[in-house]
A and B are shown apart, each in its own frame.
Chain A
Amino acid sequence: MRTGIQFRGTVPANQTHRWFTFNWNPSLHVIWTVVPDSINTSVPEISWSVAVQRFSATAVTYWISITNSTNANVDIEARYAIFP
């Protein structure tokens, strides 16, 4: 299993922002997770969804939409995990 952080960013309060990351090998099994870097002691901050684009026979683009459900900007980090 290989893991890492693909990007960091900021999602404005009560908004959804979409990032994309490209040239991933289609043969890889990739799971995306997102974790806030901004502290919030009371409520859940973010959720996310992933869309996939087969850009070519050899390249995949992942589109990661991250929703900030709080009233303040939230810094995030998007993490990948590649099986096996």
Chain B
Amino acid sequence: MAINFTDHNGALIQFVRVYLIFWGSAWASNPPPSPTTAQVTDAVNRILSGGYLTGLSQYRGVGQGYILGSTTINSSNPPNGFTDTNVSNLIQGLISAGTIPNLDADNQTLYLVFMPKGINASNSGFVGEHTYYTDASNRRVHFGWITNNGTLSSISIITSHEIAEAMTDPEGTAILGDAGTCSGPGWCEIGDVCQATTGTVNGASVQSYWSQKDKACKVFDYPAQTFPFVGTQFTGTVGANSSHRWFTFNWPAWQQVSWTVMPTTTDAANPQLTWSVAVQRASGAFVTYWITVTNTTNVPVNFEGRYEVLGRWT
């Protein structure tokens, strides 16, 4: 049966705040383990800030994210054969103790727990997973866990898979494969059908994920662009001594954009236009710019609304 994914309109994580938890004394050992917590953190940062997640914009505008923080827990160790409940109990205990931040107001936080080398899940067929639990305030806490075979590339690939899936289907109610798309158990998600293809994006090893618009497994990256580049987005007219506001939407949030206004009506005597810019993140992936142009003269003024794309966000 052909692979096909459908949006079931459930919760998404539009712009993820990832909190990293390195569980077990092995992470704090001397000499440090390989890979180190710093190396894993760097890989996750590369996954989040590089172009890997840009392909998720096709799924209701899901975007990218950033690392909210990290902590190493060496006061306890995960049991070999750990369960989701072991992990959720750890996270909730850390939140209750104030060791890690509680959910953000928009519930865009994803807690990722990294296991020491050689510690496996109760179901040894799984090397990583994401799911959620419901806390005492009836909020859904999104989390994942990643096993460790001692190589950074493996940890990075598993992490990329779990982040992409957690953002597009944090609760098993959003972007899901139609019946027959997946052969395994559990939620059928965009990484599950693409485990055979990996790549490198922004210096991090990643796994491909399903692109419904391409009907294929793809490793996404930023488009090839040379910065800065400029253009005219719109033209308009502002009446005498008045202000008017324009908006322009679906700008990639990862682009840094500056706006200027240029009169095309001439006036040899006076300044003509001022402008201000307001910004709206309409989704994780896309920004809307609102440009208010004020005409300070006694006659209508025609103008160009110009953009300057300065570069990427990081």
Contacts of A47 in B (CB 8 A): 276-279
Any B CB within 8 A of the CB of A61: no
Q: Which of B247, B258, B281, B282 has the most CB of A within 10 A?
A: B281
- Give the CA-CA distance A4 to B227 in the complex, in Å: 14
Q: Which residue of A lies closest to B253 (CB)?
A: A35
- Closest CB-CB distance, B73 to chain A, in whole Å? 25
Q: How many residues of A contact B (CB 8 A)?
A: 28
**Interface pairs (16), CB distance under 8 Å:** A1-B228, A1-B310, A3-B313, A5-B313, A31-B258, A35-B279, A37-B15, A38-B281, A39-B284, A40-B282, A41-B283, A45-B280, A46-B279, A47-B277, A69-B278, A81-B228
- Give the CA-CA distance A33 to B256 in the complex, in Å: 7
- Closest CB-CB distance, A54 to chain B, in whole Å? 23
Please determine whether B279 and A44 come into contact, CB atoms closer than 8 angstroms.
yes
- Closest CB-CB distance, B64 to chain A, in whole Å? 10
Any A CB within 8 A of the CB of B105: yes
Q: Which residue of A lies closest to B281 (CB)?
A: A36
- Closest CB-CB distance, A45 to chain B, in whole Å? 5
- Closest CB-CB distance, A64 to chain B, in whole Å? 13
- Closest CB-CB distance, B253 to chain A, in whole Å? 6
Contacts of A39 in B (CB 8 A): 14-15, 106, 281-284
Interface string of A21-62 (1 = CB under 8 A from B): 000000000010111111111011111000000000000000
Task: With A3-B313, A5-B313, A39-B14 as known contacts, state yes or no: A46 contacts B66, CB within 8 Å.
Answer: no
- Give the CA-CA distance A8 to B1 in the complex, in Å: 46
- Give the CA-CA distance A46 to B253 in the complex, in Å: 14
Please determine whether A1 and B279 come into contact, CB atoms closer than 8 angstroms.
no
Contacts of B311 in A (CB 8 A): 1-3, 81
Any A CB within 8 A of the CB of B287: yes
Q: Which of B278, B280, B282, B314 has the most CB of A within 10 A?
A: B280
Any A CB within 8 A of the CB of B133: no
Any A CB within 8 A of the CB of B257: yes
Task: Identify 19 new A-B residue pairs, CB closer than 8 A, beyond the known A38-B106, A43-B280, A44-B288.
Answer: A1-B310, A1-B311, A31-B258, A35-B287, A36-B279, A36-B281, A39-B15, A39-B106, A39-B282, A39-B283, A44-B247, A45-B278, A45-B279, A46-B278, A72-B105, A73-B105, A77-B313, A79-B313, A81-B256
Which residues, 224 to 265 on B, are CB-close (under 8 Å) to A?
227-228, 247, 253, 256-258
Which residues, 281 to 300 on B, are CB-close (under 8 Å) to A?
281-284, 287-288, 290
Task: With A1-B310, A3-B310, A73-B105 as known contacts, state yes or no: A34 contacts B279, CB within 8 Å.
Answer: yes
- Closest CB-CB distance, A12 to chain B, in whole Å? 12
Contacts of A3 in B (CB 8 A): 227, 256, 310-314
Contacts of B256 in A (CB 8 A): 3, 33, 79, 81
- Give the CA-CA distance A81 to B257 in the complex, in Å: 10
Q: Which residue of B lies closest to A74 (CB)?
A: B281
Q: Which residue of A lies closest to B14 (CB)?
A: A39
Q: Which of B105, B228, B280 contacts A44 (CB 8 A)?
A: B280
Contacts of B284 in A (CB 8 A): 39
- Give the CA-CA distance A78 to B14 in the complex, in Å: 19
- Give the CA-CA distance A45 to B282 in the complex, in Å: 10
Q: Which residue of B lies closest to A3 (CB)?
A: B311
- Closest CB-CB distance, B174 to chain A, in whole Å? 15
Contacts of B15 in A (CB 8 A): 37, 39
